[in-house]
Structures are given as structure tokens and as C-alpha cells.
Chains A and B, each alone.
Chain A
């Protein structure tokens, strides 16, 4: 069976371009606005939606994603509500892949089995769980694969050739290359090194390789798109949410459009780079 994620990458390849993966935090700045944002993302040019599951202690995130999580938690977001949002999104969109990204504790407390059942039923396609390295695959990765979900792993500049096979072993859907050693939102120093790293990973896997951390503009996206199968943008989008809010932190008329406008620019940047059709 072809998964939504495979189908989406196949379509992007057929169009001769990289995929745009957009991260927003679920429930930021509130349930209804957040749902409106993800519903608007595909038309704005997003190929894949990464939906951040808020957590009180996001150890691997920079300030923008930390603040987005705090806004969502303050507005009452829970993992249960995030799954409800995915269900609501699926009612109007059967094709755009949705990936939940976050930390293990909320899932662990929800109960792994119950979570996998509810997530699958809601229409979730994959999971990225930052604090579950391959050493802890028994926890969630293997049960998720058995449940038919993709488990997408992060590879980083510290993942050397010796370790890479271990990281890739149970990875499915795509590989997320973290372009810098650092937290989300940190700037990319050298785009040339990113292409080299993607090429290195591709020597070990057939899976698409997407690149994230530090992509803020259409120009950045275009630079990354030259060497990768996809580009992830997150911190810049949640910053767009933040700057659209009123003095009391509430959504305004421009909250959704602040995100979709930036997504449009990023999508245009990616489409400006023609890629050879994959064999």
C-alpha cells in the first residue's frame, strides 16, 4: 500500500521539485485559529504538515517553538485535542500527509497502544519524537511501525557514517536531516555542507531526505531545495503566528494570512529550483 507520505514525495518528484514541509504548533494560539491555519496550509503551498505537540519542557527547541508551545498550553491544548484537530482536518483533506512532532512524555502518559489506535483513526501518517533515539525503539517506534504509521527519524551532523545505519534501520517515510548542531530555529552556517550531508545520507538510504532547522525565507528554501528532497520550515512560521497576535496574545484577522503568506513565499522559492525527475 502506498502511504500518503510516499504518494506526496512521488508527486513532488514528478513535478521536478522538492517538497515543502511546514511545522506549526497544534493549538497555537488557540484551537480554532490553529485548525484554520492547518486547513489553509495545503492551498498555500505546503506539501506535508508537521503538527507540533506542545510540551512543557521542549529540550531541543529554540525560543520561537518554546513560546508557541507555551501559547498553546495556556490556551488549553492537549494531545487529545491535537488528535481531534487532525480528525477535523482530515474531513476536508484526504491527501496531505500529517505528521505529529514532539516529545515522548505526553504519548507515554496517553498510553502507547491507545495513542497509536487514536492517531491512526484520526488520520495521522507519521511521528517524529525528538527524545526517542534508536536505542529506545521498543518504546514507540516499533509499535508505531506495526500500527502502520511512519516513524521519521532525525539525523544530525553528529550522526557519523558508523551510526547512520542504526539511525536509518527503523526509519520510514523520510529522513529529517537537522542541518545544524543546535536547537530549532538556529541559523544554517553553510549551505554547501548541507548538500554534502544529504548526499552522505543518500548513500545509506533510498528514503527521501528533507532538511530543516534555520530555514526562514524563500531564498533559504531555494538554496536547500537544490540538494534535498524537501525543506522543513517551523520557527519562522510560529514567529509569523506570534507577530500577528494582539497585545493580549489573541489571534487577529491577519493570523492565518501571516502564515499562509510566508508559506506562499517558501513554496515559490522551492518551485524556482527545477530538479531532475527521479529515475
Chain B
């Protein structure tokens, strides 16, 4: 591992991956059953063709503007900044900005990626869309765009998640999607992904698998990243407009890591920009009950790619634990694994309790109820911003709104 890290840290650019076989250093790849392999190759070719077609980009841009509601604002979180400065040493306390991706149609960043994949699916002539979902945000975004374009939609969701994310289950059904509760394994996101792969292997001819994060076999990690990079591109422009310079640091929550890579990627070669990814530490890293695969896992192969995974000594995948269903996954996108090993991005973690506290603080101070996923990032913003000088510009990706989480939070706080 250290050899990889040394070899890659001298790169001129962190933005050229993956290679043609889908590898980011040793991570990524195409670890799928033969039945799916021809489809993966077909998808790769279709995506390359779409990338080269200005018509595809124009179509994306138009729907992002008129249907999704982009660009999302870059908002100066004034009261959060004051809160941090009041508790920091003299002269300290970064200026905190939120990238407001929770204001997108469907309430999270997920829709950026789904739009891209659905437009691609239609170019490929696929009429049936399947998806996995954890918190339900990706499922809702997929159901929404399938409704918009008249496509059949089947969403696989762990039975445990169906229970804790009821509002999103109802939304998906209202949008005409079929929601299949997955009873196998730990009944959460990884099992939903297993079941979606089983569906895909069975219905290869007419089905497009719309993966919700920067994981899975190549080309998914690169393709989903490309669709999410609109977040970082807008942030660059908006920060130049607001402050006349680039931000000093970026911070985002990580489950699979799609909102984070979307914010980070356009800045990876700006060496002065510090970048932080925040994993879910659940009950604490030492408890063993967490979802921090970089901090608490090691390299393995699951769901089509090599990446850091939570597993035992026999290579059996362990259940992840997080209060946030969207972070409750025992792996992470392969590009994050590579950015971790090269040291370009610093990965830290926040516990359930820290996220809950940040959730409440943001609601009260900013009038924004954040999703539990970005609440993990926010918990670390509160910590890091206090250690930075006042002219330090910090951007957090507020990647989802918290309406879906209010029942979970109420339960943890003992009713409200």
C-alpha cells in the first residue's frame, strides 16, 4: 500500500483517473459476473459516445437548470460562522459557506447523477430502470426521473431502511415506482445493491442499473463522479464571484462518496485547497459499530470494485452502522480509496451523536434542517473552522435536506 501511495503522490494531476481498465491506482476495476460483463462494456462505450456528443451535454445542462433548479446557491452561513468564532481563540474561526445542494428538486445531490444516467439509458434504448437505495434519496431521484420520462422503475431497499425512511418510501410509490424491501443479509444498503445486481443479471436485455454512488464496476465510479462534478464546478465560479478567490478548504460527508467527489474533483489539482471527507463513525470507531471503511477497514473486492471495506479476517463483509441510512454502507468509492492512499484528501469521521448535535444546531441557527448525512460533515466543520483563521474560506456540501430524517432524530432525542 505504501508503495502505491508513494508512486502516485508525485503525479502532476489527480484528475486523470481512472485508466482505461477502470483503475484508480490499485482500486476500482470490473469485478462482475460474466453475464453482466458485455453490458458493462456496452455501457462504457455508450457513455464515451455521450461524453463526446455536445448534444448530450446541452440536454443535461437544460434539465439541470429547468427541472433540477441548478445552479444551487453558495450560501454564507453567517450565524454558524458567528457561533464558531464566539467559541474560537481570538482571530480564529473560518468563514463558513454551504453549497446548497439540498435545494435541488427531490432534496439532495442524488438527482444530478440520476439525470445523467437516465438520459444515457434512453440513448441506449433501455425502458426499465432499477436502483438500490439506502436513505431513499437516490430511490426518490430515480423514481422522479422515471416518472418524468415515462420509464418503468424498480427500487431495491433494505427492509431495515424501508422502516426507518418511511417518508421516502411513500414518495417513491407516489411517483409510480415499485419499492422492493430486501430481506437478505443485514437488510440495508449493501443487500439492496446485491439484490439490484441479481435483478440486473436476470433482466439484462431491457434493464439499466442506475447506481446511486461512485461505486460499482467501471465505468460507474467515473461516470457518476462526472455527473456530480457540477457541484464543484459551480462552487469554483460562485466562490470567485463572492470572494474573488478559491476556497481554502472543502468538506463533505461520505457514504459511497458521490456528493463528496462531486465537490472535490474540480479542486483536486489546486494544491492549496485542503480537502476533508467525513465518514460515519456510528457509535464510535472503537465500538466496532460504524461505517468508516477508510478509517476502520482495509482493501477488498465487493460490488464490482476493489476498495476499502469493513470485513473480518476471512473476507466476510461486516455490517456497517450509522444513524444515517445513506452512510450505512461497508465500502466507499474506489477513487476515495485512492485519494486516501495518496494523501490528497484527509478522511476523518463523525459519530451519530456529533451528527445529531450538528443537525439541531444548523436547524436552530440557520433555519435549515439538514439531512443526517451532511450533518456528519457539519459536525467536523464546527471543529475544524474553529482552528482556522478568520480569512479562511471553508465550503461544506449541504448535500441533502432533513425532512426524511425528522422521525429518526425525534426517536433518538426521546420525542420532541
Binding site for B on A (CB under 8 A): 55-63, 66, 73, 78-80, 103-110, 130-133, 135-136, 153-160, 163, 167, 178, 181-183, 186
A73 — which chain B residues lie within 8 A by C-beta? 316
Q: Is the CB of B34 within 8 A of A78?
A: no
Q: Which 4 A-B pairs have the closest CB atoms?
A: A109-B315, A106-B315, A182-B202, A156-B35
Residue of B nearest to A62 (CB): B198
User: Cβ of B21 < 8 Å from any Cβ of A?
Assistant: yes
For residue B58, CB closer than 8 A to chain A, the reply is: no
Interface contact tally, CB-CB below 8 A: 116
Are A133 and B303 neighbours in the complex by a CB distance under 8 Å?
Answer: no
Q: Which residues of A are found within 8 Å of B29, using beta-carbon distances? A: 135-136
Q: Is B202 a contact partner of A183 (Cβ separation < 8 A)? A: yes
Contact A159 B315 (CB under 8 A): no
Interface assignment of B300: CB less than 8 Å from any CB of chain A: yes
Q: Is B150 an interface residue (CB 8 A)?
A: no
A105 lies within 8 A of B39 (CB): no
CA distance A44 to B191 in the complex (A): 36
Given A108-B301, A183-B202, A186-B202, A59:B197 Cβ within 8 A: yes
Residues in A with CB closer than 8 Å to B311 are: 105, 109
Contact A131 B304 (CB under 8 A): yes
Known: A59-B194, A163-B38. A109 touches B304 (CB 8 A): no
**B:114-155 near A, CB below 8 Å:** none
- Are B190 and A57 interface neighbours, CB within 8 A? yes
Q: Chain B residues near A107 (CB, 8 Å)?
A: 315
Looking at the complex, which one of B35, B185, B300 makes contact with A158 (CB distance below 8 Å)?
Answer: B35
**Is B21 a contact partner of A56 (Cβ separation < 8 A)?**
no
- Quote the shortest CB–CB distance from B176 to chain A (angstroms): 26
A108 to B31 Cα, complex, angstroms: 12
Contacting residues of chain B (8-26) with chain A, CB-CB under 8 angstroms: 21
Q: Are B32 and A66 in contact (CB under 8 A)?
A: no
The answer to whether A105 and B300 touch across the interface, beta carbons within 8 angstroms, is yes
Asked whether B313 is an interface residue with its Cβ less than 8 Å from the other chain, the reply is yes
**Looking at the complex, which one of B33, B203, B300 makes contact with A60 (CB distance below 8 Å)?**
B33
A136 pairs with B30, CB closer than 8 A: yes
Given contacts A158-B38, A186-B202, 4 further A-B contacts (CB under 8 A): A60-B198, A109-B315, A181-B202, A182-B201
B314: Cβ under 8 A from any A Cβ:
yes
A183 adjacent to B315 (CB under 8 Å): no
Q: When A57-B185, A59-B303, A186-B202 are in contact, do A105 and B317 touch as well, CB less than 8 Å?
A: yes
| Inter-subunit contact B314/A106 (CB<8 Å) | yes
Q: Which of B21, B31, B38, B204 contacts A104 (CB 8 A)?
A: B31
Interface of A is mostly: loop
Cα A157 to Cα B203 with chains together (Å): 12
Residues of B within 8 A of A66 (CB): 184
| Count of B interface residues, CB-CB < 8 Å | 37
Q: How far is the CA of A55 from the CA of B302 in the complex (A)?
A: 11
Q: Taking A105-B301, A186-B202 as contacts, is the C-beta distance between A178 and B35 under 8 angstroms?
A: yes
Q: Does B45 contact A (CB under 8 A)?
A: no
A-B contact pairs, 5 of them (CB 8 A): A55-B316, A66-B184, A107-B315, A157-B35, A167-B34
Given contacts A104-B301, A159-B38, contact A79 B315 (CB under 8 A): yes
B37 interfacial by beta-carbon distance below 8 Å:
yes
Interface residues of B in 154-195 (CB under 8 A from A): 184-185, 190-191, 194
Kindly identify which residue among B190, B197, B205, B314 contacts A78, using a CB–CB cutoff of 8 Å. Answer: B314
> Shortest beta-carbon distance, A14 to chain B, in Å?
31
Separation of A130 and B35 alpha carbons in the complex (Å): 10
C-alpha spacing A61/B195, complex, angstroms: 10
Question: Do A133 and B314 touch across chains, with their CB atoms under 8 A apart?
Answer: no
Residues from chain A with a CB closer than 8 A to the CB of B303 are: 57, 59
Q: Which of B31, B202, B301, B316 contacts A56 (CB 8 A)?
A: B316
- Cβ proximity bits B23-62 to A, threshold 8 Å, 1 near / 0 not: 0000001111111111100000000000000000000000
Residues of A within 8 A of B205 (CB): 181
- With CB as the reference atom, state the residue of chain A lying closest to B309: A105
Cα distance A80–B304 when bound, in Å? Answer: 24
Distance to closest chain B CB from A55 (angstroms):
7
- Known pairs A56-B316, A60-B198, A79-B315; A105 contacts B302 (CB<8 A): yes
Q: Give A181's nearest chain B residue, CB to CB.
A: B204
Residues of B within 8 A of A55 (CB): 315-316
Indicate which residue in B34, B190, B300, B306 contacts A178 across the interface (CB closer than 8 Å): B34
Residues of A close to B204: CB separation below 8 A: 158, 181
Q: Which of B34, B202, B303, B309 has the most CB of A within 10 A?
A: B34
Q: Is the CB of B300 within 8 A of A156?
A: no
Determine whether the beta carbon of B314 is less than 8 Å from that of A109: yes
Chain A residues in 8 Å Cβ range of B32: 131, 133
A76 to B353, CA, bound (A): 34
Cβ–Cβ contact B34 & A159, under 8 A: yes
Most chain B CB within a 10 A radius of its CB, from A105, A155, A181: A105
| Complexed CA–CA distance, A63 and B183 (Å) | 11
